[in-house]
Amino acid sequence: MADILAKSITGLYTRFMPATEVPTLTGDHIRLEPLSHRHVEGLVAASAAHPAIYKWSPVPQGRTEAEQYINTALAWQEAGTAASFAVIRLADSAVIGSTHFFNLEYWAWPPQHPSHGRTAPDACEIGYTWFAASAIRTPANTEAKLLMLTFAFETWKVLRVCLHTDIRNHRSRAAIERIGGQFEGILRAHRMAADFIPRDSARYSIVAAEWTAAKKRLIDLRDRPRESLPIPSTNGL
């Protein structure tokens, strides 16, 4: 037991993390495509209309910040810890936001285990999601979660997807709970908040056994008439 603990602490029980190959995911309303520098102008335009709505999310404002935002995302991908997307509205091909898989976990399954040799992540987080004001009260955020969770559970076959949000962001917390996220607790001083204070985060997760029910909820929410939906929090999940 002591030997296992020592190896775990030193990282020897974590598989090598390859540079992440980012897929293109297409739904009925949006397309998630690998974030790159060709999206700079689209991100600038998407965040410029109503910057005040980004109370809880670090969102790039202006070309310089958008370029830095993409550089960071690409560095995460190269390190094998994230997969970052631009959100494209199918109706007009406009960039309407961004979202990310990150904290990709590659577990070191022992040689005799059936999962030994897996090349996909075993667990991940979805977050750093934000949308343009024009995408609020549309199916965009719901469909983005549907596409990403479907890919995570059905292609990567992850065991768990985590979602964190600022403890003060009650709309975001309600949105996560609405799609089946299970509240796990509060992580104190977890991350720097958008207002540059140590943020307490509400932690949620969906595990593989819960995915079938969560998928049905997401499809129902996406297809429900907009006027019957609560006002969503599209930013901060």
Decide if pLDDT at 9 tops 70: no
Contacts of 75 (CB under 8 A, 6+ apart): none
**What gap in Å lies between CA 14 and CA 22, rounded to an integer?**
21
Domain residues for the domain of 134 are: 21-226
Nearest Cα neighbor of 204 from 145, 163, 157, 160 is 163
Cα gap 120→83, rounded to integer Å = 12
Owner of token pair 């980012």: 22
Residue 12 lies in a domain: no
Q: What total number of domains does the chain contain?
A: 1
pLDDT of residue 139: 94
Which stretches of the chain are assigned E, i.e. beta strand? 25-26, 30-34, 82-89, 95-105, 123-131, 160-166, 182-192, 198-207
pLDDT of residue 15: 57
- Does residue 7 belong to any structural domain of this protein? no
The domain that contains 174 carries what CATH number?
3.40.630.30
Average pLDDT over the chain, rounded to whole? 87
Domain membership of residue 139 (yes or no) is: yes
On whether residue 232 sits in a domain, the answer given is no
Give Dmax (Cα) for the chain. Answer: 58
Mean pLDDT of 155-165: 97
